[in-house]
Structure 1
Amino acid sequence: MNPLFGEFIGTALLVLLGNGVVANVLLSNTKGHNSGLIVIAFGWAMAVFVGVFSVAAISGAHLNPAVTVALAVAGKFEWARVPGYVLSQMLGGMMGALLVWVMYRKHYETTDCADLKLATFCTGPAIRSLPGNLLSEVLATFVLVFAILSMVAPKMSLGAMDALPVALLVLGIGVSLGGTTGYAMSPARDLAPRIMHALLPIPGKGSSDWGYAWVPVVGSLLGGTLAALTYTHL
């Protein structure tokens, strides 16, 4: 498989399962309605696990523009390949969001709150304070990327279980740092689904909150870059 298609598939799986658990928890009349942050954090961790082990051997399973840019900054990935990877990740994120909408379409119709519908596509702040929200995204992505760069592959491969440390990392970030902004940490996880929210015919969907959309994008790219620079200098 072409690595670019691998990034597309992996990111689509990531967003399908990640935003899928958010939809299951937040939308009306679902089996998982109101099951809480722990379920969302665990679901996102498993989404990362599935996405990573599915395409790690094909593309390296970046699945995140912030990770791709950080790896290039750290000298572990060619800059010439960055645009193709980022585009594939963004398209994969859009596809994953589309599939969540298809899966939960009837539940979008029975949910009255526009904010809950938006939350199944992208993140938003618990308390809107853009400087603080930006700092939250920077810190969360810094932890993500620094830990990924610090991981040492075992001498004996565990196969699919090689993806487990990354999944546990995302679980830890979710339960510890996810309470302020929802720990987007990736334009492919936040901006790409937000675009789909704007495009899809969701009844009563309200605003896509474009005034906030730059925060998870800038925050994740800045946090990942700072993590790469810190890692290389250490």
Structure 2
Amino acid sequence: MSNADILTGEVIGTAVLILLGGGVVAGVVLKRSKAFNAGWLAITFGWGIGVLTGAYISTTLSGAHLNPAVTVGIAIKEGAWDKVPFYFLGQMIGAIIGATLVYVAYYGHFLAHLNDPETVKAQQEAQKNAPAGTTPPGPVLGVFSTGPEIRNPVQNVATETIATTVLVLAILALNLTEGLAVSGTGVLMVALVVVGIGLSLGGPTGYAINPARDLGPRIVHAVLPLPNKGGSDWSYAWVPVVGPLLGGAIAGGIYQLAFA
């Protein structure tokens, strides 16, 4: 596949992934949404279907990595790194586009939620209790990026690393079953793995398991002109980048040791 195909496929596929994944979170957390308070099951299945849809759309163009951790794992498995920059670039652009589309789709709901008196009061209280010179994470940051329930960087990185290792190893192992990796069944299995990871390992950190999925939308949150949006929690932003990349590398290493 050409570099142009890789870039195009990853931009489109990752944009759809983030649009549907971020969209389900927006639907669940924004007060005026019909899906308000639908819960964790809705979020995990929404993200899984986002993976499914983005991968179906882009697989013939780029192989549907949609995730720098997946790209790293495949590069280690195959020993080929020349296409990696094009995958990374497409994934980041796609993630930014997808997050922007979530903002457009829920624009009125973002404004209604952020101007709600309860939301404003809670953000003001959080600001009072925050360390001097800092801005606490905002009330809609979770629509765009992840955050820990218990802030412990070592545990948070470990959680993201473990979860991503499971994801990438499952993707690499698809090639061991003849024909499965290029079939619709293979894409469906990856989507179900993402749902399973969300249900089993998503509680501590919100399971970024994808650096582009977290960093691109976090950038969008930082620049959007939303009132009372709060901070983008940049002190945590390295965790959902480093943890998944480590997980992707570990999965590639395990594949080489156990299956190659």
TM-score for the superposition, normalised by structure 2:
0.86
Letter in 1 for 2:228: G
Change (3 A) 1:156 1:32: closer
1:200 equivalent in alignment to 2:224: yes
Contact 2:180 2:186 survives alignment (8 Å): no
Alignment-derived partner of residue 139 in structure 2: 116
Q: SS at 1:111's partner residue?
A: helix
Q: Distance in 1 between matches of 2:197 and 2:52?
A: 14
Q: SS at 1:2's partner residue?
A: helix
**Partner of residue 95 from structure 2, selected from 83, 93, 100:** 93
Contact 2:68 2:87 survives alignment (8 Å): yes
Change (3 A) 1:159 1:204: same
Letter in 2 for 1:195: I
Percent identical among aligned pairs is: 51
RMSD over aligned CA atoms reads 1.6
Change (3 A) 1:155 1:133: closer
Which piece of structure 1 moves more, 114-123 or 208-217? 114-123
Change (3 A) 1:155 1:63: closer
Alignment-derived partner of residue 141 in structure 1: 164
Letter in 2 for 1:103: A
Alignment-derived partner of residue 48 in structure 2: 45
Letter in 1 for 2:44: A
- Kindly name which structure, 1 or 2, has the bigger radius of gyration based on alpha carbons: 2
TM-score for the superposition, normalised by structure 1:
0.95
1:163-210 CA-to-partner distances (Å, cap 9, x unmatched) read: 100110001000000000000011111000000001111111110000
Letter in 2 for 1:58: L
Shift of the alpha carbon at 1:161? 3.9
For structure 1, which runs of at least 5 residues remain unmatched after alignment? none
1:111-132 CA-to-partner distances (Å, cap 9, x unmatched) read: 1446331000000001111111
Alignment-derived partner of residue 39 in structure 2: 36
Contact 1:11 1:63 survives alignment (8 Å): yes
Q: Distance in 2 between matches of 1:184 and 1:37?
A: 15
1:20-43 CA-to-partner distances (Å, cap 9, x unmatched) read: 000000111101000100000000
Q: Distance in 1 between matches of 2:237 and 2:181?
A: 39
Aligned pairs, how many?
233
Contact 1:53 1:162 survives alignment (8 Å): no
Q: SS at 2:83's partner residue?
A: helix
Q: Distance in 2 between matches of 1:158 and 1:7?
A: 17
Contact 1:146 1:228 survives alignment (8 Å): yes
Q: Distance in 2 between matches of 1:161 and 1:111?
A: 39
Q: Distance in 1 between matches of 2:165 and 2:71?
A: 13
**Partner of residue 150 from structure 1, selected from 173, 179, 187:** 173
Shift of the alpha carbon at 1:105? 0.8
Alignment-derived partner of residue 173 in structure 1: 197
Contact 1:26 1:116 survives alignment (8 Å): no
Q: Distance in 1 between matches of 2:142 and 2:181?
A: 37
1:63-93 CA-to-partner distances (Å, cap 9, x unmatched) read: 00111111111126x3111011101100000
Alignment-derived partner of residue 183 in structure 1: 207
Alignment-derived partner of residue 23 in structure 2: 20
Change (3 A) 1:5 1:123: same
Alignment-derived partner of residue 7 in structure 2: 4
Contact 2:6 2:90 survives alignment (8 Å): no
